[in-house]
Amino acid sequence: MIDPFGRSISYLRVSVTDRCDFRCVYCMAEDMTFLPKADLLSLEELDRLCSAFVRMGVRKLRLTGGEPLVRRGIMTLIDGLGRHLKTGALDELTLTTNGSQLEKYADGLAAAGVKRINVSLDTLDSDKFTELTRWGKLDKVMAGLKAAKAAGLQVKINAVALRGVNDMEFDDLIAWCGDEGFDLVFIEVMPMGEIGEEARIDQYLPLSMARSQIQRKWTLEETDYKTGGPARYYTVAETGRRLGFITPLTHNFCESCNRVRLTCTGTLYMCLGQNDAADLRAPLRASESDALLEDAIRGAIARKPKGHDFIIDRRHAPAAVPRHMSVTGG
């Protein structure tokens, strides 16, 4: 699949649910209204959709949410999609999780063919963690990370850089990831969805500033390492681990975008930061054949925009994109 700008679309991110057992302050409001469960695609429908994309050239699948591991029966989907790894049609099946359910599912993920996972973790301070996630418990996530290591899963920690909240912990996070054998990626706050009283302009920390701060203590060596996602990686000389930066605002990565995002209701977003979308649920359910579905996918890819329009400043107080990240998929 080639978009209008010559980019090969080989990476599908699939939100299997908009629900989450956390309420992170930069992601969603505490009093969230989630989609009616009747609106969600069944696990069988999600498998059929993902398989169509694999057949059309997608080589990497990432399951997201919300929190993907709170979806009832999720291992049925993950086990099923693992068959594409066995045939060689798919290079990688992975997921992004908050870690709360990893202690339960780590062994099953490894058995299904998942090799590595991303775990969202913004602080190592237990009280601050509960404050940031509103409902989360750090010890539960740490137990999940221990289980992931025991299962042989490679772990990458995703930390959203928050001004005045965790910017004083960057050195601790780098050192801890070095000790644990984890890679680490810092991410800029993205202006998606209303989050209540929190103001993103107050949360926002440009990662150019964060990198300058980090380089006072750590030696960052250039590397050409890529995972298929938008992070730019360095190697931390003192730990030997990789450190990445995802900068949708200070330096967007749209020129090399190879991704599209599918929601749990069958809506395909060709760009995280744009509202144009394609309904894949209707053609999916219209016929047992995938011909209509494949036509709809091709039509959507033909509309993929050049890039996003994310802006954070006082003049753009409302969210740049009204839907929450948990709807589109993290």
Binding site for [4Fe-4S] cluster: what residues are annotated?
Answer: 20, 24, 27, 254, 257, 271
* 238: DSSP letter: T
CA distance 50 to 58: 9
Q: Count CB neighbours of 173 within 10 A.
A: 21
Which residues fall in the annotated binding site? 13, 20, 24, 26-27, 62, 66, 96, 120, 156, 190, 254, 257, 259-261, 271
Task: Please report the beta strands in the chain, taking only residues with DSSP state E, as ranges in sequence order.
Answer: 11-15, 60-64, 92-97, 116-120, 154-160, 183-187, 220-222, 232-236, 242-246, 259-262, 267-269, 277-279
CA distance 138 to 99: 9
Instruction: Tell me the β-bridge partners of 158.
Output: 120, 185
Which residue shows structure tokens 């999940």?
A: 144
CB-based contacts of 30, cutoff 8 Å, min separation 6: 23, 134, 196
Cβ atoms of 207 and 159 closer than 8 Å: no
Annotated binding-site members for S-adenosyl-L-methionine = 26, 66, 120, 190
Question: Residues 76, 77, 78, 84: is their CA dihedral positive or negative?
Answer: positive
User: Please, which residues have CB within 8 angstroms of residue 232's CB and are 6 or more apart in sequence?
Assistant: 244, 245, 246, 247, 253
With beta carbons less than 8 A apart as the criterion, state whether 18 and 66 touch. yes
Residues in the chain: 330
Count each helix (H run) and each strand (E run) in the chain, helices first: 11, 12
Please state the residue numbers annotated as binding site for GTP.
13, 62, 96, 156, 259-261
